[in-house]
Amino acid sequence: MSLLLETGAAVIGTVSFSLLFGVPTVYYPYCGFIGGSGWIVYAVLLNWLTAPASALIATIVVILLSRMFAVGKRCPVTIFLISGIFPLVPGAGLYWTAYYIVTDQLALAARTGFMALKVAVAIVLGIVFVFELPQGFFKFVKKPLQTDERKERENIK
């Protein structure tokens, strides 16, 4: 039940961030799906792997899905990437690091800060790994534009 609630929160958070980021409303479901998928992968793998390893694999899933939807919907990958990666960002780790510094618990601050840094580096590495794949790798998702999609794209512009 907890994983279901966490995933729901990740989906809602991702869609909310998409709204703030200015993503067209037609892409909200895809952004939510990508953010929720990344969180599920991260939360499940956290039972067997470290937080940085889980974040790396979850980031790879998020970026693969982002690139697939970007090719399939013929739009920039950043629409899905920036909002989809949102649940994986180690914001709580940074918060606790600052809290421990302020409360003069420097050993805990160093430990949580280093873990947040490792997770952030894992996210960057996951993004770099998947972006090194050639665009042709994602051509299987591409489909010809239909008249409804053409009208939709013209309305977005």
On whether residue 149 sits in a domain, the answer given is no
The pLDDT of residue 29: 93
Res. 47: pLDDT tops 80? yes
The pLDDT of residue 126: 94
Q: Which of 24-33, 70-79, 126-135, 142-151 has the highest mean pLDDT?
A: 24-33
Provide the percentage of residues in the chain whose pLDDT is more than 70: 85
Distance CA(116)–CA(122), nearest Å, equals 10
Note down the domain range covering 32. Answer: 2-137
Model confidence band, residue 150 (pLDDT cutoffs 50, 70, 90)? low
Q: Measured between alpha carbons, how far is residue 13 from residues 20, 89, 147 in Å?
A: 11, 12, 32
Q: What is the mean pLDDT of residues 5-30?
A: 92
Phi-psi region for residue 99, left (φ > 0), alpha (ψ -120 to 50) or beta? alpha
On whether residue 145 sits in a domain, the answer given is no
Q: What is the mean pLDDT of residues 47-66?
A: 95
Contacts of 76 (CB under 8 A, 6+ apart): 70
Provide the percentage of residues in the chain whose pLDDT is more than 90: 64
Residue type, 145: L
Distance CA(11)–CA(44), nearest Å, equals 16
Res. 75: pLDDT tops 60? yes
The pLDDT of residue 115: 95
On whether residue 153 sits in a domain, the answer given is no
On whether residue 154 sits in a domain, the answer given is no
On whether residue 144 sits in a domain, the answer given is no
Average pLDDT over the chain reads: 88
For the chain, how many structural domains are there in total?
1
Model confidence band, residue 87 (pLDDT cutoffs 50, 70, 90)? very high
